[in-house]
């Protein structure tokens, strides 16, 4: 049996059958297929992945010479995250004579996980999905929480379900296939988890920046565990994002706007890095907190090679316009997640996202461009 | 406030938030919009319906002069039950600036309910849906139980979710818009409910055949209540069809094959009528039961103008082939739901669907063609 370094159990309240394990370790991918078959002996596997994973040799590692029905998303990335890809996956599963006893195995980054998870959620009214995230973003973030979905021609995640995985397998060795920029930008979600929920974890990241940047296995296993523990705790409290789950959006409100305004020339993590700096400046401007957290955050992000400013090419007007159209906006203006100290998110009158005057946001944007 | 003749509460076990009411009455459609707005004051309505309902004037009755964003399925019926229609509905909702606070209102027969329910299930990871069924089939069957979905090019309901409605409103006066053949065929599901679960209800149907055929309001309200009560009890015990819910398939195993083999020239209820007679003959052949139930069933179905034989144009070989490909087949042969007496389904070793020798099925088919 495959040995894992750590296993975290995610409990979804109100849905007793939806708890699932996250297994974390290094170098187990080639042994995983047999472990999955032992775990789900009566299910027929169907692999969803993308060209990048095939090219990196990870699909071959997973299958280890076996044959299995498979769908490789082409082209890889956001441009394939639409309903047509989901339809193609479902029809491919039908052509492979799969039924309600199938098990979708998603191998890849966040996009693969979102698409495959959604296909599993709606195939014959729902079949289980196993997530094997292979990027720093997906290992930190998108394989935990049950959000699945694809974009419409008009907006992101217009189609989707909450569909929790049957299990998550995080093999940190798969991260070696990422290019350096993707690898580093994905670490921003780890910084975010530390900032919103755990000052000790923030210390750990500061102290381990060197091994982290050189892909040290033990450090990667540790941060995968910390990320999943933190995110799982938040999701368990609020699985469908009625309230507290909003804290996972720290830095994302302006971050999303910056990402979109850059026409996606910035990676998600890069945009969120700038968004977290902006949130920290709002906290200062509102007099919420007086500590070193913003300078520490800035230094850590810089050490990870992340932007801590907004690119000059982006106009303030464009950002303001995007903020007004934020999908969580209330009365055409978004609320912001803010810290009350490093490792603790501000909660006021039971709310985790707060009104911030547009003028304050404009001032921060001006200072950051 | 709108007055209903009867309200039945459906409880979905394990999902405390998914219980919902089924309101039954006559002539309340024109007052329903205000009632829905009172019930969901913070939700923005979006109506899904089809051309038939527009032509019959029921959409106008529901809206009563109000404006509301709407999608009318074109053409009405099974041929529109595909993912393209769902995509069009989702994008229409986005164009109407609807978000997670929207409420889908499905007005129509089973196809409208299946499509609209599925669109609601996947729009922005799920918004509530209110079902207003307007056919005898949908009022008896498809608006209760949470099954939603659309067909792929390869099979029925390849895409789907379990998504329970927020409420169901059954106005029996809407049935007046059905043509006589549709109206009668839809009553077969009522006969099925009586046969599998309630001998007294079967007596009631036998005694009220005249008022039933002339659309008597009180009788229609009574059978709507009985149907929902019976189906809700079964669904509450087994929401995702692991076992007992299979009894709702009485007559459907051969019925589906006959429906498909007729190239859908038979209506669903007509095919199920022949399927129930076949099931009754299997019960006799297997010596399961000796009573008058099969002759009573045949007489009641004949009084409703339903076929109790298989059309001559359908070959035995075609039916056998379709049975082998039944989606619930185990080892290429379906199991059959059988009665042990009128109003009681056979349960053996905790199973509600049973192995029947192919030869026995062939003999019954030969006798029925």
Domain boundaries, chain A: 6-178, 243-368
Q: How many residue contacts between A and B have a Cβ separation below 8 Å?
A: 86
Asked if the model's pLDDT at residue B143 lies above 80, the reply is no
Q: B150 is written with which tokens? A: 């659309």
B185 with B269: CB under 8 angstroms?
yes
**For B48-106, what is each residue's pLDDT tens digit?**
999 999 999 999 999 999 999 999 999 998 899 999 999 999 999 999 989 889 999 99
Three-state SS sequence of chain B: CCCCCEEEEECCCCCHHHCEEEEEECCCHHHHHHHHHHHCCCCEEEEEEEHHHHHCCHHHHHHCCCCCCEEEECCCCHHHCEHHHHHHHHHHHHHCCCCCCEEEEEEECHHHHHHHHHHHHHECCCCCEEEEECCHHHHHHHCCCCEEEEECCCCCCCEEEECCCCEEEEEHHHHHHCCHHHHHHHCHHHHHHHHHHCHHHHHHHHHCHHHHHCCCHHHHHHHHHHHHHHHHHHHHHCCCCCCHHHHHHCCHHHHHHHHHHCCCCCCHHHHHHHHHHHHHHHHHHCCCCCCCHHHHHHHHHHHCCCCCCCCCCCCHHHHHHHHHCCCCCCCCCCCECCEEECCEECCECCECCECCCHHHHHHHHHHHC
pLDDT of the residue at B17? 67
CATH fold of the domain at A6-178: Rossmann fold (3.40.50)
Residue of B221, B244, B249, B335 with catalytic role: B249
pLDDT of the residue at A311? 94
Asked if the model's pLDDT at residue A1 lies above 60, the reply is no
CA–CA gap between residue A365 and residue B11 (Å, rounded) = 51
Average pLDDT of every residue of chain B: 93
* Residue B92 touches chain A, beta carbons under 8 Å: no
> Which residues from chain B sit within 8 angstroms of residue A163, using beta carbons?
none
Helix or strand or coil: residue A48? strand
Average pLDDT (B113-135) is 97
pLDDT of the residue at B237? 84
Average pLDDT of every residue of chain A: 93
Cross-chain residue pair A162–B125, CB shorter than 8 Å: yes
pLDDT of the residue at B14? 67
CA distance B88 to chain A (A): 10
Higher per-residue confidence, A9 vs B291: A9
CA distance A369 to chain B (A): 31
- B6 labelled catalytic: no
List b or e across A111-120, with b for residues whose CB sees 16 or more CB atoms inside 10 angstroms.
bbbbbbbbbb
Asked if the model's pLDDT at residue B1 lies above 60, the reply is no
Asked if the model's pLDDT at residue A18 lies above 80, the reply is no
Chain B stretch 169-208, residues whose beta carbon is closer than 8 A to a beta carbon of chain A = none
Average pLDDT (B209-224) is 97
> Which residues from chain B sit within 8 angstroms of residue A122, using beta carbons?
118, 122, 149, 159-161
* Residue B46 touches chain A, beta carbons under 8 Å: no
Cross-chain residue pair B17–A14, CB shorter than 8 Å: yes
Chain A stretch 312-341, residues whose beta carbon is closer than 8 A to a beta carbon of chain B = 327
CATH number of A243-368: 1.20.1090.10
Say which of B83, B123, B161 has its CB closest to residue A126: B161
Residue of B252, B293, B296, B335 with catalytic role: B252
* Residue B161 touches chain A, beta carbons under 8 Å: yes
Of residues B271, B276, B296, B259, the one with CA closest to residue B345: B276
ipTM rounded to 2 decimals: 0.89
Asked if the model's pLDDT at residue B142 lies above 90, the reply is no
Q: How confident is the model at residue A31 (pLDDT cuts 50, 70, 90)?
A: very high
**For A71-130, what is each residue's pLDDT tens digit?**
999 999 889 999 999 999 999 999 998 988 999 999 999 999 999 999 999 999 999 999
pLDDT of the residue at A342? 95
CA distance B129 to chain A (A): 15
CA–CA gap between residue B68 and residue B70 (Å, rounded) = 6
Say which of A83, A125, A240 has its CB closest to residue B160: A125
Helix or strand or coil: residue A91? helix
> Which residues from chain A sit within 8 angstroms of residue B114, using beta carbons?
none
Say which of A17, A95, A122 has its CB closest to residue B160: A122
pLDDT of the residue at B16? 64
Q: How confident is the model at residue A17 (pLDDT cuts 50, 70, 90)?
A: low
Cross-chain residue pair A94–B121, CB shorter than 8 Å: no
Say which of B147, B159, B240 has its CB closest to residue A122: B159
B242-368 belongs to CATH 1.10.3720.10? no
Cross-chain residue pair B94–A154, CB shorter than 8 Å: yes
Say which of A14, A16, A125 has its CB closest to residue B161: A125
Q: A306 is written with which tokens? A: 């992340």
């Amino acid at each position: 049996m495959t040995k894992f370094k750590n296993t975290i159990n995610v409990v979804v309240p109100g849905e007793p059958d939806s708890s699932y394990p996250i297994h974390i370790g290094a170098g187990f991918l080639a042994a995983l297929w047999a472990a999955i078959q032992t775990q789900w002996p009566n299910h027929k596997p169907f692999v969803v992945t993308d060209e990048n994973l095939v090219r990196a040799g990870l699909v071959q590692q997973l299958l280890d010479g076996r044959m299995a029905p498979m769908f490789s998303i082409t082209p890889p990335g956001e441009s394939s995250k639409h309903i047509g890809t989901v339809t193609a996956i479902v029809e491919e599963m039908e052509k492979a004579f799969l039924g309600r006893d199938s098990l979708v195995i998603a191998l890849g980054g966040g996009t693969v996980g979102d698409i495959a998870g959604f296909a599993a959620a709606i195939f014959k009214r729902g079949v289980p999905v196993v997530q094997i995230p292979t990027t720093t973003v997906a290992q930190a973030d998108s394989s935990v929480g049950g959000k699945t979905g694809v974009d419409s021609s008009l907006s992101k995640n217009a189609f989707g379900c909450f569909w929790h995985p049957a299990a998550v397998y995080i093999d940190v060795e798969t991260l070696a296939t990422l290019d350096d920029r993707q690898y580093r930008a994905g670490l921003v979600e780890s910084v975010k988890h530390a900032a919103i929920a755990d000052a000790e974890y923030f210390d750990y990241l500061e102290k381990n920046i060197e091994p982290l940047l050189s892909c040290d296995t033990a450090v990667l296993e540790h941060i995968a565990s910390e990320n999943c523990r933190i995110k799982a705790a938040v999701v368990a409290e609020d699985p469908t994002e009625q309230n507290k789950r909003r804290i996972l959006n720290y830095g994302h409100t302006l971050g999303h706007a910056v990402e979109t305004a850059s026409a996606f020339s910035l990676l998600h993590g890069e945009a969120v890095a700038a968004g977290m700096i902006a949130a920290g400046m709002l906290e200062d401007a509102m007099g919420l907190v007086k500590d070193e957290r913003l300078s520490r955050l800035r230094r850590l992000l810089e050490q990870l090679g992340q932007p801590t400013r907004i690119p000059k090419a982006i106009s303030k007007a464009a950002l303001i316009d995007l903020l007004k159209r934020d999908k969580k906006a209330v009365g055409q203006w978004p609320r912001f997640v803010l810290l009350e100290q490093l490792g603790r998110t501000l909660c006021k009158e039971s709310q985790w996202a707060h009104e911030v005057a547009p003028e304050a946001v404009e001032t921060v944007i001006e200072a950051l461009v």
